[in-house]
Amino acid sequence: MQLTEAERHAIASQVTQSLEEDLSAADPTLDITAQLIPAHHVSQATIITREDMVACGTAWVDEVFRQVDADVAIEWCVTDGDKVQANTTLCRLSGNSRSLLTGERCALNFLQTLSATATQTAFYVSKLEGFSTRLLDTRKTIPGLRMAQKYAVRCGGGTNHRIGLFDAYLIKENHIAACGGIVAAVETARELNPGKPVEVEVESLAEFEQALNAGADIVMLDNFTIGDIETAVAQNKAAGSPLKLEVSGNITDEALQALGATGVDFISSGALTKHVTAIDLSMRIGQPRTN
Active site amino acids: 105, 140, 172, 201, 222
* 142, 256 Cβ separation under 8 angstroms: no
Residue 252 DSSP label:
-
Please name the amino acid found at residue 18: S
How far, in Å, are 118, 147, 191 from residue 144 at the CA level? Answer: 17, 8, 32
Of residues 152, 85, 144, 163, the one with CA closest to residue 119: 152
Of residues 219, 278, 220, 224, the one with CA closest to residue 255: 224
Per-residue three-class SS string for 200-211: EEECCHHHHHHH
Of residues 163, 159, 198, the one with CA closest to residue 182: 198
Strand ranges inside 53-192, DSSP E: 53-54, 73-76, 83-84, 89-96, 134-136, 169-171
Residues 6+ apart with CB under 8 A from 283: 45, 46, 47, 93, 100, 104, 107, 108
Of residues 55, 92, 88, the one with CA closest to residue 73: 92
Residues 23 and 160: their CA atoms lie apart, in Å, by 34
